[in-house]
Amino acid sequence: MLPTRLLLYPLGVLLLLGGALPDALARIKLTTLPVRERVALQLDHAQVALVEEERLVPLVQGRNQVDFSWANTRIDPDSLVLRILDTPDGAEPRAQVLSVSYPPHENALVWTVAARTAGTARMRISYILGGLNKSFHYRALADHAERTLVLSQYLQISNSAQEAFASAAIQAEVGPRLERPLGLNETKELRLNQFAAVPVRKTYTSDPLRFGYLDRDQDKLNVPMHYVIRNAGAPLGREALPEGKARIFQDDGQGGSAFLGEDRGAFTAPDDELKLYLGLARDIVVRRSVERSERQRIAGNLYRYDVTLKYEIENFKDSPATLDLVESVRHIRDSLYGAVERDPEWQLGAGSLRDPDPQHSDADQLLFHITLPPRTAAGTAVKQIHTLRLSLNNEW
């Protein structure tokens, strides 16, 4: 009597069990399905998943064939692995995989499994499955005073793998493991984390190299606003914040929320800062002009350039603010005297801007923090005038 073979359907592919058959005998495919005990989806990659499924599979004593075939499912055949579980430590396994073969012209493989005794074995089949696309996004809700916010983190999964999952333990590279179904061609959104009372800092930045001019004829610079969140301390900092789209809201003070904008947050490691763009400030005005530019010969064809930049700054807000004024020395040199490959040699002169932030300044970039008082009771802004003086040495 020929041994019987049992066809299974794990995740839409065919799993066929039984003893070895003669080569001339066609492969028989039956449709009895053992209960699927567990399915796990590991979503570390943006477009593929590591799938692990466990089933309780009946084995006969001796050799059994496990026939795994798939169609219209994006399985990487080189990633398929079969393991026999439920073996106590130090004990001889009741069943073990002897070999694997690939039937010609088929999306299939056959494992030969030897069992010392008949009975049910727990088997785990793992493989890489394409078509499971994931992305992260965030919702940030700032309080009315813009001192703290609630940061909600979401995982979005789009299933185009031609496979349905009645129940799966879904694990991304961050956040808890969630048990959810995932239907065929379904897009599902899962909230991974919600961080309450996260300290937030609102910044105003003037950086002509990165953000340019609002009105070049009037020397008005763009002044973008950002919410800055440090991924450190409770409740943040235990994991990185993956890159993702962020929608930003503010409590309107009347029981609702106002939409402030949308940005794409960069990958933020623990103890790093996440910056979310809010738009351009209309109530802080920065005018930047070149007040002085002189050239002095040092020796031969080497010159020193003395440059003075003037900033006229006004804050029309009802509250004080801090302006982050950023300058690139190379950009100043190149915009005034032409671009060259050499790094500039420079030193600060006796302008009002003399103490750059040491943590965010380097051999090229200078960052200054300027405190701006609120507008007066009459509604007028207090104009501040600052100067940045540079000596550029050994220029041609």
Closest CA to 60 of 124, 125, 6: 6
Token pair for residue 317?
Answer: 């807000």
pLDDT tens digits for the chain (396 residues)? 222 233 433 333 444 444 444 333 334 333 344 777 899 999 999 889 999 999 888 899 999 988 888 888 899 999 999 999 876 666 778 899 999 998 888 888 899 999 999 988 899 999 999 999 999 999 999 999 999 999 999 999 999 998 889 999 999 999 999 999 999 999 999 999 999 999 999 999 999 999 999 999 999 999 999 999 999 987 798 999 999 999 999 999 999 999 999 999 999 999 999 999 999 999 999 999 999 999 999 888 899 999 999 999 999 999 999 999 999 999 999 999 999 898 999 999 999 999 999 999 999 999 999 999 999 999 999 999 999 999 999 888
Radius of gyration of the chain (CA): 33
| pLDDT tens digits along 177-216 | 999 999 999 999 999 999 999 999 999 999 999 999 999 9
| pLDDT tens digits along 305-325 | 999 999 999 999 999 999 999
Residue 150, φ and ψ in degrees, nearest 5? -100, 120
Pair type for strands 148-159 and 187-199: antiparallel
For position 71, what pLDDT does the model report? 80
Residue 333, φ and ψ in degrees, nearest 5? -60, -50
Token pair for residue 391?
Answer: 């000596």
What is the dihedral sign for C-alpha 350, 353, 356, 360?
A: negative
Distance CA 138, CA 387 (A): 40
Asked if 57 and 123 touch (Cβ cutoff 8 Å), the reply is yes
| pLDDT tens digits along 280-301 | 999 999 999 999 999 999 888 8
What is the dihedral sign for C-alpha 367, 373, 374, 376?
A: negative
Entry pTM:
0.82
Q: What are the residue boundaries of the structural domains of the chain, listed by start?
A: 5-39+47-130, 132-198, 284-395
Distance CA 252, CA 236 (A): 25
Distance CA 328, CA 367 (A): 9
Residue 141: which region, alpha, beta or left (left: phi > 0; alpha: psi -120 to 50)?
beta
